Amino acid sequence: MRVWKSTPKDALLVGFSVAQLVVTLWLATTWDEASVPWRIASTAGMTVLISYNIIVVSHLFTHVPWFVSARLNAAVSLLNSVNIGQSVQAYHLTHVRNHHRFNNDPIGEDGTTRDLSSTYRDGENGEHAPLLRYAFKGSLDSLVGRGREVSYVHRLWKVGDEEKDLLSLASRREPRRSRELLQIRADRAAHCLSLVVFAAISWQWTLLSYLPAFYLALTMVNVQNYYRHYGADPGDRAADSVSHYSRLYNRLTFNDGYHQEHHLSPNSHWSQLPAVRARFRDRLDGRTRIVSPVPAMLGFLHTGRALLHHDRAGGER
């Protein structure tokens, strides 16, 4: 009987998901006896775990689920909804069906972007939004959004009519649409239950460690997304993202650095992204695009980065 949809290598991602939950519970249970330096270090560690899961683990799962069984994939969605503090199914809708459709588009004639996470959304005069605004305000907006979802307990976390973005991104075909909206509801319930469990173990840890770590993780995710697209050409499908080809980084992050390749073939499994690069080599090498010498999280160190969106804007004027 076949278990893995693509490759048994995805067991590594499953293992990380389970390990993160175990570590999270352990940190919560040991908080009261921990020293101040350990509390600071553990909060930093939680920040890294959550951000890594969002950027790598859950991101990969939203594109190519790991199991053949729909029930096992639903269970993974529940597990990582606890780990990343938000619905993985909702992440799938906003990322795969929105971001990968509109590819970090600039502001259009209607005064906004179609990509809900576009780095241009709060920018002016055709520029990216300022990094700090994108990173910190974006994470604050996300935190408020997750808090609002917790408050939906009165309707058992059902996706409501006011959540127009999610409703518009859900499949229009039944029974798939109902399954997706039900999974979001279940993911939210799992997340909210985990908050109750965390608070019951140690409300001090939940308030002083988990919530700050969650906010900082969201900020790190925004920095990552910012430099995955900063300076790229949003009008060229082969140059609208930024790749980083360090062998070590890509080993540690399951080929996360192949971001341009990922945009060209978002349904390709992470293990196939080097092959995607080879397949599109002529197309990629035949134009000016940005390849960063540092991972996207450290994109601010990439001084002198070309600003291809300036060239496009100049050509359009």
- Flag whether pLDDT at 316 surpasses 60: no
- Flag whether pLDDT at 1 surpasses 90: no
pLDDT tens per residue across span 237-272: 999 999 999 999 999 999 999 999 999 999 999 999
Residue 317, pLDDT score: 31
Name the band, by pLDDT with cuts 50, 70 and 90, for residue 78. very high
Residue 315, pLDDT score: 44
pLDDT (mean) for 90-98: 98
In this structure, what token pair is assigned to residue 114? Answer: 């179609």
b/e per residue, 218-235, with b = 16+ CB within 10 A? Answer: bbbbbbbbbbbbbbbbbb
Residue 312, pLDDT score: 62
CB 274 within 8 A of CB 265: no
Phi, psi at 206, each rounded to 5°: -60, -45
Name the band, by pLDDT with cuts 50, 70 and 90, for residue 31. very high
- The whole-model pTM stands at 0.96
- Flag whether pLDDT at 305 surpasses 60: yes
- DSSP label at residue 167: H
Q: How far apart are CA 305 and CA 292, in angstroms?
A: 8
Residue 286, pLDDT score: 85
Name the band, by pLDDT with cuts 50, 70 and 90, for residue 311. confident
| % of the chain with per-residue pLDDT over 90 | 97
- Flag whether pLDDT at 287 surpasses 60: yes
Phi, psi at 222, each rounded to 5°: -65, -40
CB 292 within 8 A of CB 227: yes
Smallest CA-to-CA distance from 191 within 91, 295, 44 is with: 91
pLDDT tens per residue across span 190-213: 999 999 999 999 999 999 999 999
pLDDT tens per residue across span 101-143: 999 999 999 999 999 999 999 999 999 999 999 999 999 999 9
Report the chain's mean pLDDT, rounded to a whole number: 96
